[in-house]
Amino acid sequence: MSPSQTVVVGTGPVTEDDVVAVARHGASVVLATSAREAIGRARAVVDDLAAGPTPAYGVSTGFGALATRHIAPELRDRLQRSLVRSHAAGSGPEVEREVVRALMLLRLSTLATGRTGVRPATAQLLADLLAHGITPVVHEHGSLGCSGDLAPLAHCALALIGEGPVRDASGALTDASTALAAAGLAPVELGPKEGLALINGTDGMLGMLVLALHDLRRLLRTADVAAAMSVEGLLGTDRVFAAELQALRPHPGQAASAANLVRLLAGSGVVASHRGPDCNRVQDAYSLRCAPQVHGAARDTVDHAALVAGRELASAIDNPVVVEDRVESNGNFHGAPVGYVLDFLAVVAADVASMSERRTDRFLDQARNHGLPPFLADDPGVDSGLMIAQYTQAAIVSELKRLAVPASVDSIPSSAMQEDHVSMGWSAARKLRTAVDGLTRVVAVEVLTAARGLELRAPLTPSPATGAVLRLLREAGVQGPGPDRHLAPEIETVVQLVADGAVVGAVEAVIGELQ
């Protein structure tokens, strides 16, 4: 989706495609008329409560451990401003623009349900910020993943009242007041409950989960391509991927991955060269033979995480929430459901990368690569070939294993023990983003290595699918076998080809869509 296209919020749950379009591709956002009407109805309930004598949390009381104080009417606007200002307490590096835009979109989605009690004008301004490409500066640290992603969301809410740093559509750093004025927008004066409604959600961790799911689906297809290239280049067999064998263990992800491998290896002259009775090899190593089992389990885990994300995208996360003619406290802001699957996916990234690195290492070991030169070097001893590319893989895999340690099992009590169990879902999401980047790089090194290994099998010919990847790399400037050269630029080129889907695209142009 291009910036000229628009996502309508408030006609139903936003989708993964909506999040990616707005967060990554700058799609504009509009608030549906029906959403504005629902927001208005909920606001009337809040206004009635604010005018009444009975204390209501978030409307006429303090927050967290200070909820026992009743706030006089003349102090309630200040209460909401103070909440946003005090909670915008993040620290550390600036969070990526795509994460902040995803967070803003998902907060708007909850506002559009008519369960939060904000005014229509407040929700509209949030939509306007997205439409004009104004992105508040949010910091790495500040969320415990409970009571929502408080500090990150507070930094976004701060921009709505014309305060704090933002980046404009060009990426330039400016202040919110200046950016709003340049876009023809005016800041809002927050009324009762509005500050709380703007900061009390799981939107940051959910946005990062949705973006990671989008990336991991592509990466797992790419991992199948890399595995096929390695099986082929290491003279492995494709017979173990047969559908009849996979059906004996009917995991859907395993079946899909194995089917991909069968199609990717179809027509390979390399595989055909050792298929006859003269072949004396009984079984391939696990990293070759068990690729569908590992990649498939990863796919099934992604599917489970997507199920959780879908439920969360259909949720209204706030506390308290407007229900009929009243406001009710609840615990739906707790990030446990999202935090758990974020941690599951970090395990997936580490394990798929670990298997990829093992296949790469086999190519470089003369004792296991079945006739290829050591380290795929042109003149071994004078040349080191791809020796240190595998070191880079190994360093990343080691980091991924550390990142696979779950964040969601940790909890640090906060707010004077009122908030005594937190999810750490934001932390789980941040480390998953690092893990997805690491997996991209590890798979890219395997593709680079397997491509060289396949070329060294000449005159044997690769399959049409893997041959398309070889052509893609050469057209992108990645050279074939030969004397040592500066390798880092070639690795980065392949990283980009993996990250933007070009590797999968080259294959699918030849054999059709992969599963």
Residues with catalytic annotation?
57
Burial of 82 per CB tally in 10 Å (0-12, 13-18, 19+): middle
Give the torsion through C-alpha atoms of 448, 453, 459, 465, to 10 deg: -50
Ordered alpha helix ranges (H), 418-487? 425-455, 464-475
Q: For residues 292 and 238, is the Cβ–Cβ distance under 8 A?
A: no
DSSP H or E run through 510: helix 502-511
3-state secondary structure of 512: coil
Q: Which of 95, 77, 112 is nearest to 151 (CA)?
A: 95
Pairing of β 91-94 and β 135-136:
unpaired
Instruction: Determine the Cα–Cα distance for residues 103 and 105; give it in Å rounded to an integer.
Output: 6
Q: At residue 389, what is the residue type? A: A
Structure tokens at 454: 């396949």
Q: Which of 154, 157, 161, 189 is nearest to 177 (CA)?
A: 161
CA distances from 41 to 110, 229, 260, 476 (A): 15, 59, 51, 56
The secondary structure of residue 323, as a DSSP letter, is E
DSSP state letters, 265-303: HTT-HHHHHT-STT-------HHHHTHHHHHHHHHHHHH
